[in-house]
Amino acid sequence: MPLGFSWITYDITSDLPGNWQADIRAVAAEADFRDFPCTPVLSREAGNIAHIARGRVYADRVRENLPWLYRFYRGYFLQLAREACAEHVMPALDDRYGVVLNVQRGTEMRFECHVDSNPLTGLLFCTDQPTGAGGELVFGHDPGASDVGAVERECSVIRPHAGHLVFFEGRKYPHYARPLAAESDVRLVAVMNFYTESCPESTRPPELNRHLFGSP
Ligand SMILES: [Fe+2]
């Protein structure tokens, strides 16, 4: 019996700085909001979807404006990632993509359906999305799913809880974040790339960096 998709959740609410949510909200308000073109190699969007609207706070802004988050990525969160993973886990050495924020505002934004290139991903949910509010993280059970509809047909759904840190292996199962139900709603998540010895940072596709940063 092959093992299906699984993830691990740590409730770290009490370990975060007292003002962490307000801190994240303030930085996220200055995110880069626009239509992002679909990602080469990793996208699992239908052919007629060329771009998807969302917000992104880049890693350099996170490091500068949320120094506690940058430190946690390389410290406490790394320690938890190592507990969650059978292999030795390492953070990214390249500061362009270690930890970033994804931001959704209103009902038009969502996060692209894709697979990961890194072997372990950590997400710190920074907002609560109650039942019916949308914004769920959805993993398709079919590794061959090549669009949102196929992912939704059979899937695992993770509802964002502020202060929950989840780890998963996202290379096999396509995943995306659903749009929000209310125009006034916001979804904030910190996204962290981790690597292992069997899948080190050097395996990151150079076309991905060219797409995101204009250089390998
Ligand atoms: Fe992902």
User: How many A from CA of 18 to the centre of ligand 1?
Assistant: 28
User: How many A from CA of 68 to the centre of ligand 1?
Assistant: 23
Report in angstroms the alpha-carbon separations of 195 from 10, 164, 192, 202. Answer: 19, 21, 10, 9
pLDDT at 17 > cutoff 70: yes
pLDDT at 46 > cutoff 60: yes
Average pLDDT of the residues of the chain: 94
User: How many A from CA of 115 to the centre of ligand 1?
Assistant: 6
Confidence tier at 1 by pLDDT (50, 70, 90): low
Confidence tier at 197 by pLDDT (50, 70, 90): very high
User: How many A from CA of 21 to the centre of ligand 1?
Assistant: 22
pLDDT at 141 > cutoff 80: yes
Confidence tier at 3 by pLDDT (50, 70, 90): low
DSSP state of 179: P
Distance from first CA to last CA of the chain, Å, rounded? 40
The average pLDDT across 128-154 equals 97
User: How many A from CA of 185 to the centre of ligand 1?
Assistant: 22
Instruction: Note the pLDDT of residue 2.
Output: 59
Query: Global pTM?
Result: 0.94
The average pLDDT across 82-94 equals 93
Question: In this structure, are strands 186-196 and 175-177 parallel, antiparallel, or unpaired?
Answer: unpaired
- The beta strand positions in 38-110, using DSSP E, are 51-57, 89-91, 99-105
Residue 28: half-sphere exposure toward Cβ, Cα within 13 Å: 21
The average pLDDT across 42-69 equals 96
Q: Mind listing the pLDDT tens digit for each residue in 107-130?
A: 999 999 999 999 999 999 999 999
User: How many A from CA of 12 to the centre of ligand 1?
Assistant: 21
User: How many A from CA of 130 to the centre of ligand 1?
Assistant: 22
Give the lowest-confidence range in 57-61, 97-101, 192-196, 201-205: 201-205
